[in-house]
Structure 1
Amino acid sequence: MTSAPTWTIAQIAEEFGVTHRTVRHYEDLGLISPERRGTQRVYHRRDRTRLALILRGKRLGFPLDEIRTIIDLFDAPRGRRAQLEYVLGQIDQRRTDLEQRLRDVQDAISELGEFERRCREDLGRLDHV
């Protein structure tokens, strides 16, 4: 019988490009739960998958409490279906928020450009006085 692959904290951290402290933080929050062999943490496929989901959620701007809900739904009786339905709702909310932020940034850039134009005109008039 072949044993399932396992990883150390160093291997997991390196693979995902995070620090050991980050991995331990997610463990402290209960988002991942590696096996303990004495003082050594042993990560299994489930921990690796959960860490990938956590980091993807963070990149997409989801707060940790939402990420926890998404991950926990996978273990729920309806499992994958409930998780996907929930995630789709969260994606819609996140997209709406990001689209509004993008419009706000575009408006600010436009306003800044107009302010810069007026300042340059004023400076040009001062140079010709």
Structure 2
Amino acid sequence: MIHPDSAQLATETPAEGVAAREPADPLFGITELCREFGITLRAIRFYEDKGLLQPRRINGSRVYSQRDRARLMLILRSKSLGASLAQIRHYLDLYDAPELNEVSSLRAAEDELQQTLTDLERQQADIGATLAELRHIQQQVQQRLGAST
């Protein structure tokens, strides 16, 4: 984890209480996120190029906030479910929506979230049905193998 005031901290001494200070918002390096999520530097840079992640820079190095980390987690989960970049961007827009204080915006966001939940639940049911069918086929294959030996 990177301390948000790392440039400033380099000039302070432990006698000034620097070592005891904890960051308000922990920062993460790109390598740290790659290791945590099992992805490549190139993948994170791809999401940056697409505008899905916008890290800060400290002394020329990319640093990611806890919020960036949460966004990356949402990106990767959405990707694993087969979401397109446009869908992922839409989810992130909902996550970031500053106007979510207005009742009409909240209702629109709720409608979109409900639709997304419905779609994901339908996918989950389809996956469950596919798994059950594959298990049935596997069982038939195993029975045939047992009968032929």
- TM interval, shorter chain, is 0.5 to 0.7
Q: Is residue 55 from structure 1 mapped to residue 76 from structure 2 by the alignment?
A: yes
Q: Is residue 9 from structure 1 mapped to residue 30 from structure 2 by the alignment?
A: yes
Per the alignment, residue 20 of structure 2 pairs with none
Q: Which amino acid aligns with 2:114?
A: L
Q: Summarize the alignment of residues 43-122 of structure 1 with structure 2, pairs less than 5 Å apart.
A: 43-59=64-80, 61-63=81-83, 64-76=85-97, 77-78=99-100, 81=106, 83=109, 85-118=111-144, 120-121=146-147
Q: 1:115 to 1:38 in 2, by over 3 A?
A: same
Structure 2 unaligned regions, length at least 5: 6-24
Cα distance in 2 between the residues matched to 1:70 and 1:25: 18
Structure 1 unaligned regions, length at least 5: 125-129
Q: CA RMSD in A?
A: 3.1
TM-score by length of 2: 0.61
Cα distance in 2 between the residues matched to 1:96 and 1:11: 35
Cα distance in 2 between the residues matched to 1:114 and 1:17: 37
Q: 1:83 to 1:55 in 2, by over 3 A?
A: farther
Per the alignment, residue 56 of structure 2 pairs with 35
Q: Is residue 19 from structure 1 mapped to residue 45 from structure 2 by the alignment?
A: no
Cα distance in 1 between the residues matched to 2:100 and 2:140: 54
Identity among equivalent pairs (%): 31
Number of aligned pairs? Answer: 121
Cα distance in 1 between the residues matched to 2:47 and 2:129: 33
Which one has the bigger helix percentage?
A: 1
